[in-house]
A = this chain, B = another copy of it.
Amino acid sequence: VPSTFRLTLEYDGAAFQGWQAQAGEVRTVQGVLEAAIARVSGERVRVQGSGRTDAGVHAEGQAASVCLATVRDLRVAPAGFDARRSARSKLYRYALWNGPVRSPLRAARAFCLPQRLDVEAMREAARALVGTHDFRSFQAAGSSVATTVRTLLRLEIRGAPGRALALDFEGTGFLRHMVRNLVGTLVEVGTGQRAAGQMPALLAARDRSRAGRTAPAHGLTLLRVRYEGDPEESGPQGADSDPLIAGGDSLDRSAS
């Protein structure tokens, strides 16, 4: 669903041949805005001004509207807001396709694993990973950070074996490749290569070589970042409860 945005713009009229977009190399306010939006979003949209300003006329508070489907939200933040330092938690989803046949429609967004997974064993392993632990065993080799202790607030495995699966990781911070290394390890539990009960020992080892392989990047999606003052359920369109996101397939489809 596209959102409508209202922009308030200031410009020096001397820099533009007026508001209205024109063919050719003429620099206009509307033309520059539309080109920039196309570059970022891939959407060719019309930016509607409150009216045209002629060549040379300035604006202190020109208003414009634009409908965009790809920009999820944009707002004025409190002074000092910093997307990295102000973050309280992040939610990542890793999508697996566990159907017996590779799915071309899902291959770009999910890690395809034809071997039927023991999801209950994976859930048992996941429970041991939740909490504050030293996750060094799951950090990319060669990384250097002050501490490898992180807090995993939630690790949920949704869906059913043999169909689409989603692994949701919510934490206050993540080490490099931590989610993908946890997924790779949990998949080895699901395939029976690794016992579900070995997670505490694996954490205690603090040794990357003891954990599983790094799952591929294309199955991973950053669903949302939460900040102080955000409403409790602040996912974009309730992303973390929407099974259609980051898998291209309803997790409930196995029931149909």
A residues at B contact (CB < 8 Å): 3-10, 13-14, 32-33, 35-37, 39-40, 48-51, 53-65, 70-84, 86-87, 90-91, 93, 108-109, 174, 177, 216-218, 220-225, 227, 235-236, 239, 245-246
Chain B's closest residue to A2 (CB) is: B79
Instruction: Provide the bound-state CA to CA distance between A187 and B35, in Å.
Output: 40
Which residues of chain B come closer than 8 Å to A245, judged between CB atoms?
60
Q: A50-B90, A87-B50 are in contact. Are A71 and B6 (CB under 8 A)?
A: no
Shortest Cβ gap from A63 to chain B (Å): 4
Chain B's closest residue to A47 (CB) is: B83
- CB <8 Å contact, A8 and B82: no
Chain B's closest residue to A35 (CB) is: B39
Chain B's closest residue to A19 (CB) is: B222
- CB <8 Å contact, B5 and A218: no
The copy count of this chain in the complex is 2
Which residues of chain B come closer than 8 Å to A246, judged between CB atoms?
58, 60
- CB <8 Å contact, A90 and B51: yes
Instruction: Provide the bound-state CA to CA distance between A74 and B73, in Å.
Output: 10
Given contact pairs A6-B76, A59-B221, A61-B222, a sample of 17 additional A-B residue pairs in the complex whose CB atoms are under 8 Å apart: A4-B78, A4-B79, A5-B74, A6-B227, A14-B108, A36-B36, A50-B84, A50-B90, A50-B222, A51-B84, A55-B217, A56-B218, A57-B221, A58-B218, A61-B239, A62-B225, A74-B76
Q: A39-B32, A74-B76, A78-B4 are in contact. Are A109 and B223 (CB under 8 A)?
A: no
- CB <8 Å contact, B5 and A53: no
Max count, chain B CB within 10 A of own CB: residue among A10, A37, A64? A10
- CB <8 Å contact, B81 and A4: yes
Which residues of chain B come closer than 8 Å to A6, judged between CB atoms?
73-77, 81, 83, 227
- CB <8 Å contact, B59 and A222: yes
Q: Could you list 20 examples of A-B contacts with CB < 8 Å?
A: A3-B76, A4-B80, A4-B81, A5-B77, A6-B76, A10-B72, A14-B218, A33-B40, A36-B37, A39-B39, A50-B87, A56-B217, A57-B217, A59-B221, A59-B222, A60-B223, A60-B236, A61-B236, A74-B75, A75-B75
Which residues of chain B come closer than 8 Å to A9, judged between CB atoms?
71-72
Instruction: Provide the bound-state CA to CA distance between A225 and B65, in Å.
Output: 12
- CB <8 Å contact, A223 and B74: no
Max count, chain B CB within 10 A of own CB: residue among A58, A72, A78? A58
